[in-house]
Amino acid sequence: MKILFLSHYFPPEVNAPASRTYEHCKSWTDNGHQVTVVTCAPNHPKGKVFAGYKNHLYHRETIDGIDVIRLWTFVTANEGVLKRTFNYISFMLMAILVVPFLKRPDIVVSTSPQFFNGLAGYFVSRLKRAKWVLEIRDLWPESIVAVGAIRNRKIIDLLESVERFAYEKADHIVTVTQSFKQYMQDRGIREDKISVIYNGANLQLFKADQTDTDKETYTDGLNALKSELKNKFVASYVGTHGMAHHLDTLLEAAELLQHRTDIVFLMVGDGAEKTKLVAKKHSKKLDNVIMLDQLPKQAMPHIWQLSDVSIVHLKRCKLFKTVIPSKIFESMAMSKPILLGVEGEVKNIIEAGKCGLLIEPENSRQMAEGIVQLANNKEYLSLLGKNGRRYVTTYFDRNILAGQFEVLMSTLLEEPKPILGIEYGAFSTSIRT
């Protein structure tokens, strides 16, 4: 197959959409398919183009066999509705203008959010007379409404009409949760038009037995961090520091545990709320909190190796009950128990895998109590970690999931009628029994 993939995010960016897109495309390339990714200069989340790149009108490179085309985009930090909207629309327009000059693909895949990138798939697929698969990793605009980023009802109605248009026009839709699929069915989208392909983990990259030779250029920094964390129980939050994550809860839990000198909180990442969180840490004199900036993907396994438990948290919100944060799979792959402050579908995974503790979102006292429980019971901690590794290996191997996506695309090209919506993997049954 000749696959054209539109993604606003791609390595060396390290967020969840960049990782999912790269790992799927790498698997398809390894299987002999021609894969072209259209993206922008790496700049997420600070809105600063990464070293070694420039925001050129057009730049082409090859990454692990993937043909990567980077287009000029209005670059801005991951904050501010108006600037971010210009960022999103500029990429969509550039993709529509440039793609006609590329070779015709068999299939176009566009991923959302951001949703204008997803919508670009409609125009590009029509221009290239190709099938269009719309991948939905988050419900939009519902997710930005949920965090209060947009409140104007007329704008929301307009965006929802665009959302419905994309769902109806796509040849097939891939979602990452059962809840997303149900959401679309409730809005009149046929069940046989929607397939669920969960997120997962790269089990070759994320493994508990990391060695010093794996550390590459990160050795010095990791050794310094390792020394600082020596003889400490490390509760880590790794990922975006955004409005949706309500990481004030983590700092409040750290404040409650200041008397436990053996416990330290490690926060790694960046985002719209990072500056505010750093200021709060200093104002409360939380010496038991270490905050690091975003690190390269290759460093992440070693951060997890220094950790004892993974904190996964979102603000209390009805919409977030539909979300499965992708970081749980990397934590499980690294045999790290999960302290989950998210309601809804993701709880089924943690319960089925017997790999973590559940707390209420935004409940700092429960978070502190859960960390103490795990810090005081190392045997239970180890058991949860082993359970997680076994469960993610069975159901959430990213390479296997990429293969399922590959089969879906092949079937779509072969069949003149819509293919059957599929819930991939035995996992779909296991969490309901």
User: Tokens 């669920």, residue?
Assistant: 196
Q: Which CATH architecture has domain 2-200+397-428?
A: 3-Layer(aba) Sandwich (3.40)
Confidence of residue 7 (pLDDT cuts 50, 70, 90): very high
Q: Cα separation of 432 and 100, whole Å?
A: 45
Cross-strand pairs, 68: 37, 61
Do residues 124 and 94 touch, judged by C-beta distance below 8 A? no
pLDDT digits (tens, 9 = 90+) for 132-182: 999 999 887 666 666 566 677 777 778 778 888 999 999 999 999 999 999
For residue 418, pLDDT over 90 is answered with no
**From the centroid of its chain, how far is CA 237?**
14
What is the pLDDT averaged over residues 402-425? Answer: 76
Q: What is the pLDDT of residue 246?
A: 95
pLDDT digits (tens, 9 = 90+) for 301-317: 999 999 999 999 999 98
Distances (CA, A) of 390 to 74, 349, 355, 379, 423: 43, 13, 10, 17, 21
pLDDT digits (tens, 9 = 90+) for 36-75: 999 999 998 889 999 999 999 999 999 999 999 999 999 9
Instruction: Select the more confidently predicted residue: 234 or 420.
Output: 234
Q: What is the pLDDT of residue 207?
A: 85
Do residues 95 and 124 touch, judged by C-beta distance below 8 A? yes
For residue 25, pLDDT over 90 is answered with yes
Q: What is the separation, in whole angstroms, between the first and last Cα of the chain?
A: 37
Q: Which CATH architecture has domain 212-395?
A: 3-Layer(aba) Sandwich (3.40)
Residue 24 one-letter amino acid = H
Domains 2-200+397-428 and 212-395 share a fold: yes
Q: Where are the domains of the chain?
A: 2-200+397-428, 212-395
Torsion region of 337: left, alpha or beta (phi above 0 gives left; psi -120 to 50 gives alpha): beta
- Which residues are within 8 A (CB) of 399 and not within 5 positions of it... i.e. 6 or more apart? 23, 27, 202, 203
For residue 218, pLDDT over 60 is answered with no
For residue 32, pLDDT over 60 is answered with yes
83's tokens: 């600037």
Confidence of residue 250 (pLDDT cuts 50, 70, 90): very high
